[in-house]
Amino acid sequence: MSNINKAFANGKAFIPFITCGDPDLQTTAEVVKAAADNGADLIELGIPFSDPTAEGPVIQGANIRALSGGVTTDKIFDFVRDIRKEVTIPMVFMTYANVVFSYGAEKFISTCKEIGIDGLILPDLPYEEKDEFLPVCQKYGVDLVSLIAPTSANRISMIAKEAEGFLYIVSSLGVTGTRSEIKTDLASIVKIVRENTNIPCAIGFGISTPEQAKKMSDIADGAIVGSAIIKIIEKYGKNSPKYVGEYVKSMKDAIR
């Protein structure tokens, strides 16, 4: 059984996304701890990439700040090794196929296993090309998390049948970022997912308020929030852990 299942074992899951190294890894560590202490069920750690095609301006900005601060994949691995001494909830990396490919898939994924990373989300990896990484992920017991977008239509059942860890349902077309409303018919997507797999699904992209989180978690098994958290970190910098903790608590309370 996947360790990721633990995130969904106690009701609806709240999943924050945090870019590693924005503004620095020490702050990232404090933010992760604050999120975990305030009810986060699973944490998505973003490994910065110079061309993050799925990201809107907020997370792009975090990527640029982290990279200009000298963050590297190896430094992030060391950071996770360290934080795993205190944080026990499931954690996954979200990054781009090129990051894994250039590091060496075997080396990258085996290190994920060694440091306690439970899964990998690669938003630019098409479903049809996942065999480039899937066998290595399965070899080391790291879940390759699939994404389902509003455009997936007739592929939803196919993706769901082979899903691992959890399914990331993208709420809206376009890039990440907060949205005032989400218009996609997500209930019908979740219905097809439910018919094809027992693996939990969480909705991300565009969620920022407790009301939105509640609405999304009523449809699915959890809600994923990135840009709204990155905005808090951008605003408060090294003082952000306290504010992120308060925000996570408000979101988790909303979906309980």
Token pair for residue 84?
């795993």
Predicted pLDDT of residue 1 = 63
Which residues on neighbouring strands pair with residue 93, listed in sequence order? 45, 120
**What does the alpha-carbon distance between residue 126 and residue 103 come to, in Å, rounded to a whole number?**
19
pLDDT at 141 over 60: yes
Please tell me whether residue 217 adopts helix, strand or coil conformation: helix
Predicted pLDDT of residue 82 = 98
Distance of CA 225 to CAs 57, 101, 140, 213, 219, Å? 15, 26, 28, 8, 16
**What does the alpha-carbon distance between residue 66 and residue 170 come to, in Å, rounded to a whole number?**
25
Q: How many CB atoms lie within 10 A of CB 89?
A: 18
Q: Give 235's DSSP letter.
A: H
pTM (2 decimals)?
0.95
Token pair for residue 253?
């309370």
216-251 pLDDT, tens per residue? 999 999 999 999 999 999 999 999 999 999 999 999
Higher pLDDT, 182 or 20: 20
Selection from 233, 230, 246, 175 nearest residue 204 by Cα: 175
Residues 6+ apart with CB under 8 A from 220: 169, 186, 190, 200, 201, 202, 203
Please tell me whether residue 127 adopts helix, strand or coil conformation: helix
Q: What beta strand segments (E) does the chain contain? A: 13-19, 43-46, 91-94, 119-121, 143-145, 147-148, 167-170, 201-204, 222-225
The helix (H) or strand (E) run that includes residue 212 is: helix 210-219
24-59 pLDDT, tens per residue? 999 999 999 999 999 999 999 999 988 866 677 889
Predicted pLDDT of residue 206 = 85
- CATH for 3-250, options being 3.20.20.70, 3.10.20.740, 3.40.50.620, 2.40.240.10: 3.20.20.70
CA 15 to chain centroid: 7
148-207 pLDDT, tens per residue? 988 887 899 999 999 999 999 998 765 555 555 666 789 999 999 999 999 999 999 889
66-99 pLDDT, tens per residue? 999 999 999 999 999 999 999 999 999 999 999 9
Predicted pLDDT of residue 183 = 63
Amino acid at 183: K
Selection from 154, 155, 20 nearest residue 146 by Cα: 155
Please tell me whether residue 14 adopts helix, strand or coil conformation: strand
Predicted pLDDT of residue 33 = 98
Please tell me whether residue 173 adopts helix, strand or coil conformation: coil
Distance of CA 22 to CAs 5, 97, 238, 247, 248, Å? 28, 21, 9, 18, 18
Alpha helix segments (H runs only) across 38-145:
57-68, 73-83, 97-103, 105-115, 134-140
Domain boundaries, the chain: 3-250
